[in-house]
Structure 1
Amino acid sequence: MELTTHTAPHATIIRVQAARIDAPVALDFKEEMRTLTHAGKGRFILDLAQVEFIDSSGLGAVVAAMKQLRPHQSLELAELQPIVAKVFRLTRMDTVFTIHDSADIAGDENRE
């Protein structure tokens, strides 16, 4: 699972460089997220623009990434593809996460 980061003015953007977050990659995703968020602070925006499919294991890994954050850190999502957005709506996770249309615009916004 390849994740890349970009520092925006008001957040760190983490881009998922994969078409799927599913059972075979969920553990790697969670560990990579732990490494990236442990070193940073503040807001993290998970850019899911390239993710075309997410299953329950992938959804669980995203939730686990949020739960492992330290105080004063937050995880937001951006650029969900229609099928991925549907999974978040059906599981009501869209009420747990802040979801943005654009990761770059969200990273430029000051939400403090």
Structure 2
Amino acid sequence: MSTISRSGFQIVTVAETRIDAAVAIAFKDQMRQLTDGGAPDVVLDLTDVSFIDSSGLGAIVAAMKQLGKDRRLHLAALMPNVDKVFRLTRMDTVFAIHDSVEQAVGANAG
């Protein structure tokens, strides 16, 4: 994973193609390290993620909780298979899901 700041947002790009049981714990640890004390809005760029399972969903929920109540986690650029998992599990009602990082930053700027 890598992170950059843009327009007051912290953008975390996931390099993995899968977020599943094999990487969930490492994912949570990396998210905590990368976002600790960062911007109030964090955009998780999932452009390269083609698969997510329940462990991966749990890791993303844990990352959101680690941010605390005064910070927000936005999801961006979900592939169709990943988007489907979020909708089937109704997690699309928990997270703001955007078509792209640019849309996430633009929709929430100002």
* TM-score where L is the length of structure 2: 0.93
5+ residue gaps, structure 1, are: none
What does 1:1-112 correspond to in 2, within 5 Å? 3-111=1-109
The amino acid of 1:50's aligned partner reads: D
- For the aligned residue pairs, the C-alpha RMSD in angstroms reads 1.3
- Which one has more relative contact order, counting CA pairs under 8 Å at least 6 apart? 1
Q: TM-score, normalised by structure 1?
A: 0.91
Identity value in percent: 55
- The one-letter amino acid paired with 1:99 is I
- Structure 2 residues without counterparts, runs of 5 or longer: none
Looking at structure 2, the residues matched to 71 and 33 of structure 1 have their Cα atoms a distance apart, in angstroms, of 16
Asked if structure 1 preserves the Cα contact closer than 8 Å seen for 2:75 and 2:98, the reply is yes
Distance 1:100 1:72 in 2: 20
Aligned-partner Cα distance in 1 for 2:62–2:6? 24
| Superposition deviation, residue 111 in structure 1 | 4.4
> Deviation per CA, 1:13-52, whole angstroms, max 9, x where unpaired?
1000010000010000001101111131310000001000
